[in-house]
Amino acid sequence: MDFKKLLAYQKGFELAMSIFEISKSFPKEEIYSLTDQIRRCSRSVCANISESYRKRKYPKHFISKLTDADAENSETNTWLDFAFECKYIPKEKYIELINKGTEVGKLINYMINNPSKFGVKEE
């Protein structure tokens, strides 16, 4: 199976693209701080999921990269908090994005807790 077929990857990618679109409207003075940070960490979720899937031959590496993805997902939520509090995104969009992030986190944690379902050979 291709990592792009993983639900966690697909949902993470969708979230990252939603964040990219909404961050286009952030103030120009945020381009090198909030805008850059939120885009980078949201994209890192997918990058780490794809890396973990390629390391599934090594259970500890698989889980390690997934915990990195989970951490990047949490960081994304933190930056969303800042964007909302700075009034760069409306409440409805904020709630939608936070909920998507929560879903991605649950999917990542399912992978962490059930590595054998993703082709990882138990040690």
Q: Indicate the number of domains in the chain.
A: 1
Predicted local confidence at residue 15, as pLDDT: 98
Note whether residue 123 is domain-resident. no
Predicted local confidence at residue 79, as pLDDT: 98
The amino acid that residue 45 corresponds to is: V
Please tell me the distance from the alpha carbon of residue 25 to that of residue 106, in angstroms, as a whole number.
Answer: 29
Tens digits of pLDDT across the chain (123 residues): 799 999 999 999 999 999 999 999 999 999 999 999 999 999 999 999 999 999 999 999 999 999 999 999 999 999 999 999 999 999 999 999 999 999 999 999 999 999 999 989 876
Owning domain of residue 18 = 3-114
Note whether residue 16 is domain-resident. yes
Q: DSSP letters along the chain, please?
A: --GGG-HHHHHHHHHHHHHHHHHTTS-GGGTTTHHHHHHHHHHHHHHHHHHHHHTTTSHHHHHHHHHHHHHHHHHHHHHHHHHHHTTSS-HHHHHHHHHHHHHHHHHHHHHHH-GGGGTPPP-
Note whether residue 122 is domain-resident. no
| Helix 59-85 with 91-113: angle, nearest 10 deg | 170
Note whether residue 120 is domain-resident. no
Predicted local confidence at residue 122, as pLDDT: 73
| Helix 91-113 with 7-23: angle, nearest 10 deg | 150
Note whether residue 63 is domain-resident. yes
Predicted local confidence at residue 17, as pLDDT: 98
Predicted local confidence at residue 1, as pLDDT: 73
pTM assigned to the model: 0.94
CATH of the domain at 19: 1.20.1440.60
